[in-house]
Chain A
């Protein structure tokens, strides 16, 4: 606000006149401002998506530059009758579901914790935020090292569990590998959810709590009847966001397990990558991509609906 006077002065110094010409300019201006973005995204996102959809009905040989051949629904028939495809969908669902559950619970619990005031809170919050700020490739490097069966530090803690007297092969066991993918993805994501939930918690007026306490409400009642409704829409929104983020997740899984062991962590994005760039089956990969596109459009649809509802509540 201190800039007020200064800006007004600057504005007053601008050229006068030309008032009559403004309306037409004002009408066109937003479109002129937005056009470059539309063209840019049109070329680099929309056109490739269209190409992808068209390509999923073709047989493509990128390596030999043979003209693509029209094959109709063949790729889709193959997809739907491919048991591997359904397994990949199951894995995707499992991974996404577990990450949503783990990351949002962790985010909620830490947000409730950090909603209390204590000394050194900014420092503790900074520490909590770090996993979120870490790039994915170093995260992979850290965990490859921590989970190393020979020297990995995690084994010290694992050995404390009764019955564990050998270092487990963390990433070679299907169940453990999936578990670690979920834990690592959640570790990286929960600070973000925590921050968003914390902002929602701090927006609940303190007077409501005071009034309820005077009326004799206990901790659980406060949580159920005030806190939870207060952050309800935020939580819904975050569930959808978490769904999108974990559905997109590529780098962590690909660099840690490549989808293995024996497909245990192969989600749809990993499958698309492997089909295209390991088996060079571009047409089939494109059809898988369209399937993924449909799924993510459905999720995006829910996100938009929730956003619109939230916007209505806020104004």
Chain B
């Protein structure tokens, strides 16, 4: 538009659009700084020796960088065991969710059957329920069946909570596989199970990865059930272990923040890679990303 006008106007319009750019870029900068600052501060407090951090006002930029705190953290606390437990719980949750959600998503996406909408509704509603509401009954049941203090039984509960979302994500992904391909395979004599195994799954690898990520990190991040269903210190996953560390006092601040940082790296990495799929699952397919 600006180029179409000539003379006096072009100068003014040029100035206006430049001004607009400046406003746009500075707004983006401010928004990003405000959003990122808490995470930045975690990184700074981790890497900087604490004589700088434990001082008011603390310097806003790191004055010196050290890496010894990571080793000290692993010596001072059973972080390695916590992380190992988190891996066990998260992998089991992921496994259960993958198997069940592939089956459910295929039934929702590719097959037409009476009760299909009702099943979708059931998943939608279970996904909305606060985890707290079934905590006490589950605690009671687990207690009477001696299932407390067991990583597998915790993983089974975690899977129950995240499974509906996994099914929705995968349904959205399976919807993208053209129907003609499935029909062609069926006409050629493939049965439905080999259609799933040999056609649908190889075509939807990114979606499967997304479901794996969602299930894995739900269990990885989960705190409430882990803190109640696991009482023994040697079974603590990292989410619970971390919450026992106390800033100021027992745990030096650079170790405290290092622990938070180590725990967050994996989820941040994978969530950012898979954000599109995860978002569509959480809104139950409302968003066409």
Give the interface centre of A3, A34, A55, A150 by most chain B CB atoms within 10 Å.
A34
Check B124–A304 contact: CB distance below 8 A. Answer: yes
Q: Report B242-286 CB contacts with A as 1/0, cut-off 8 Å.
A: 110101100001001101110110011001100100010011101
Let me know if B75 is at the binding interface, CB within 8 A. Answer: no
In contact, A17 and B42 (Cβ under 8 angstroms): no
Asked if A146 and B188 make an inter-chain contact with CB atoms under 8 angstroms apart, the answer reads no
Chain B interface SS verdict (over half): helix
Q: Residue on A with the closest CB to B144?
A: A65
B228: A residues at CB distance < 8 A: 277
CA distance A33 to B199 in the complex (A): 17
Mark contacts of A7-23 with chain B using CB atoms, 8 A cut-off: 1 yes-contact digit, 0 otherwise: 11011101111110010
Asked if residues B287 and A199 are in contact (CB atoms below 8 Å), the reply is: yes
Q: Contact: A135 with B288, CB < 8 Å?
A: no
Known: A49-B133, A135-B267, A296-B129. A128 touches B41 (CB 8 A): no
In the assembly, what is the distance between CA of A142 and CA of B43, in Å?
10
Q: How far is the CA of A31 from the CA of B118 in the complex (A)?
A: 12
Residues A129 and B275 in contact in the complex (CB < 8 Å), given A45-B134, A250-B131, A269-B132:
yes
Stretch from A77-85, A220-228, A281-289 at the B interface: A281-289
B257 to chain A, nearest CB (A): 7
A37 an interface residue at 8 Å Cβ cutoff? Answer: yes
Whether the pair B220, A135 counts as a contact (CB closer than 8 A) is yes
| Given A11-B181, A30-B113, A244-B128 contact (CB < 8 Å) | yes
B38 & A124 in contact (Cβ 8 Å cutoff): no
- Contact of B233 with A by CB under 8 A: no
- Say yes or no for A209: interface residue by CB 8 A criterion: no
Question: Known contacts being A44-B160, A55-B137, A138-B264, is A11 close to B190, with CB within 8 Å?
Answer: yes
Of the residues B24, B39, B136, B156, contact of A142 by C-beta under 8 Å = B39
Q: Is A187 an interface residue (CB 8 A)?
A: yes
Tell me which residues across on chain A come within 8 A of B256, comparing CB atoms. 141, 145
Cβ of A301 to closest chain B Cβ, rounded Å = 8
Say whether A48 contacts B141, CB under 8 Å: yes
From 78 to 137 in chain A, residues with beta carbon under 8 angstroms from any chain B beta carbon are 110, 113-114, 116, 118, 124, 126-137
Query: Per a CB cutoff under 8 Å, which of A14, A128, A199, A286 touches B137?
Result: A286
Nearest CB to that of A6 among chain B residues? B202
**Per-residue B-contact encoding for A130-160, CB less than 8 Å = 1, 0 else:** 1111111111111111101011010110010
CA distance A145 to B129 in the complex (A): 32
Interface size of A as a range: 35 or more
Interface centre among A11, A203, A241, A273 (most CB of B within 10 A): A11
- Among the listed B195, B202, B268, which residue makes an inter-chain contact with A130, where contact means beta carbons less than 8 Å apart? B268
A232-275 interface bits toward B, Cβ cutoff 8 Å, 1 = contact, 0 = none: 00100110010010011011000100000000000001001100
Question: If the complex has contacts A7-B181, A134-B267, are A153 and B133 also in contact, measured as CB distance less than 8 A?
Answer: no
Out of B124, B195, B283, which one reaches A300, CB within 8 Å?
B124
Taking A25-B191, A296-B130 as contacts, is the C-beta distance between A148 and B163 under 8 angstroms?
A: no
**Does A144 lie within 8 Å of B247, measured CB to CB?**
yes
Closest A residue to B274 using CB positions: A133
The reply to whether B38 and A52 form a contact with Cβ atoms under 8 Å apart is no
Q: Is B203 an interface residue (CB 8 A)?
A: yes
- A233 closest partner in B (C-beta): B286
Within 8 A of A (CB), among B153-169: 156-157, 159-161, 163-164, 167
Decide yes or no whether A26 CB sits under 8 A from chain B. yes
| A234, B286: Cβ atoms closer than 8 Å | yes
Among residues of A, the one whose C-beta sits closest to the C-beta of B275 is A129
Q: How far is the CA of A285 from the CA of B139 in the complex (A)?
A: 13
In the complex, 27 of the A-B residue pairs with CB atoms within 8 angstroms, ordered by the A residue number, are A8-B184, A11-B188, A18-B191, A19-B189, A33-B104, A36-B103, A44-B138, A45-B126, A47-B137, A48-B138, A60-B140, A118-B24, A118-B28, A127-B32, A130-B272, A131-B38, A133-B275, A135-B221, A141-B247, A142-B257, A151-B55, A153-B57, A192-B282, A248-B130, A251-B224, A272-B132, A273-B135
Residues of B within 8 A of A (CB): 21, 24-25, 27-28, 31-32, 35-36, 38-39, 41-42, 45, 53-58, 60, 96, 100, 103-104, 106-107, 111, 113, 115-116, 119, 121-122, 124-126, 128-141, 143, 156-157, 159-161, 163-164, 167, 181, 184-186, 188-192, 194-195, 198-199, 202-203, 217, 220-221, 223-224, 228, 239, 242-243, 245, 247-248, 253, 256-257, 259-261, 263-264, 267-268, 271-272, 275, 279, 282-284, 286-289
Which 9 A-B residue pairings sit nearest by Cβ, starting from the closest? A11-B185, A133-B271, A48-B137, A138-B260, A44-B160, A135-B221, A16-B189, A14-B190, A300-B128
